[in-house]
Amino acid sequence: MKARPVLCKRMSVEEWRAFDARMPAAIYTARPAWGLAWAQTFPAFRPWPVLCGLPDGRSVIVPLLRSRGRLGWTQCAGMPWGEPTMFLDHGGAEADPDAARAAFVALQRYCDSLELTLWPLGKIRALRVSSRCTHGEISAIDLSNGVNVALAGMDGKFRRMAGQAERRGVRCEKAVSEDAVVVYYAMLEASARRWGLERPTISLELFRNVIAYGGADAEIWFAYFQGRPIAGGVVLFGRQEMYFWTAAMYGEFSTLRPSNALNVALIKHACDRGMHWYNLSSSSGLVGVERFKDGLGARRVQFTTYRSERGSYAFYNAVRAALSRTRQR
């Protein structure tokens, strides 16, 4: 008997939020708050969670965002900017690899174009499907053995610098003021200028929306010196992972080592919240950032992004590219 095909259908945002309320995904970027914040910031996108019904009766939910193409193409990403999504089973846990692979193959037929990044700290490291792949790397700390083990895994010099910052009067706390987003963004703008950029790669509007939709699972933290915030970061919570999404510091205070103190405080906070992982994200090939994370005791973990296009969509793009080249002659 011929096996039944995997059936894909879009879930409503209300259904997705109700599902997440019962069992939040392990990572923030696979949760409705992330999709809603992104869509609020970028009107070309809308949340597009897909329910894949498998032939054996099981189901897999894949949180995605769909971009609104002018010709109605189904262009989906999980998630934009290379942020990961997950294959979730009916209980909100990560689906098994075979179910995830079947769902991905079905999504390749359902979507005209599909880009999907796997959560690097999950159990699904490779889908073994026909698709173009690229690879990247994050740094992460395993918190499953508790805060003392995590802190013991740090380089001794890193710990001493964190202690030195505390003795000099650096204090780290979660921000509670309504203007915390603006205060943090000013710090990020200063950091961007120090890195040779005109402006931060993340807009103030996206920060506002992530904090607004995230509620208790999106926090801004500051390292303070003499009452002034001198370093900070935004952390996002899933059920198993705290994601250090973005960090900034005023360069003139670097000798106080506020980033060392801030990361120690965040590790303790993540453990208090029962997190399994502290995800420090990608270092984008910056040697100094990689060295800092290594000193923190983080290990480097590779991730994979899969991309595929249906034949009709690939042909459409090829024609557009050819016409563009013709006009430029």
pLDDT digits (tens, 9 = 90+) for 16-35: 999 999 999 999 999 999 99
127 DSSP β-pair partners: none
- The predicted model gives 264-285 an average pLDDT of 95
Looking up tokens 């016409």 gives 323
SS3 content of the chain, % helix, strand, coil (to 5): 40, 25, 30
Q: What residue spans define the domains of the chain?
A: 7-135+303-328, 144-275
Residue 304, pLDDT score: 95
Confidence label for 119 from pLDDT (cuts 50, 70 and 90): very high
- pLDDT(312) > 90: no
Residue 128, pLDDT score: 87
68 DSSP β-pair partners: 74
Residue 2, pLDDT score: 44
- pLDDT(126) > 70: yes
Confidence label for 329 from pLDDT (cuts 50, 70 and 90): low
- pLDDT(1) > 60: no
pLDDT in tens, 186-227: 999 999 999 899 999 999 999 999 999 999 999 999 999 999
Query: Distance between CA 30 and CA 5 in Å, rounded?
Result: 25
% residues pLDDT > 70 (the chain): 96
- pLDDT(297) > 60: yes
- The predicted model gives 251-261 an average pLDDT of 97
Cis peptide before 11 (omega within 30 of 0): no
Domain 144-275 has CATH 3.40.630.30: yes
Determine the CATH number of domain 7-135+303-328. 3.40.630
Q: Where are the alpha helices (DSSP H) in the chain?
A: 13-22, 32-41, 97-110, 147-152, 156-167, 180-194, 204-214, 258-272, 287-295, 311-328
Nearest CA to 63 out of 76, 81, 45 is that of: 76
Give 172's contacts (C-beta < 8 A, 6+ positions apart).
221, 222, 223, 224, 258, 261, 262, 264, 265, 266
pLDDT in tens, 45-104: 999 999 999 999 999 999 999 998 778 899 999 999 999 999 999 999 999 999 999 999
- The predicted model gives 2-25 an average pLDDT of 89
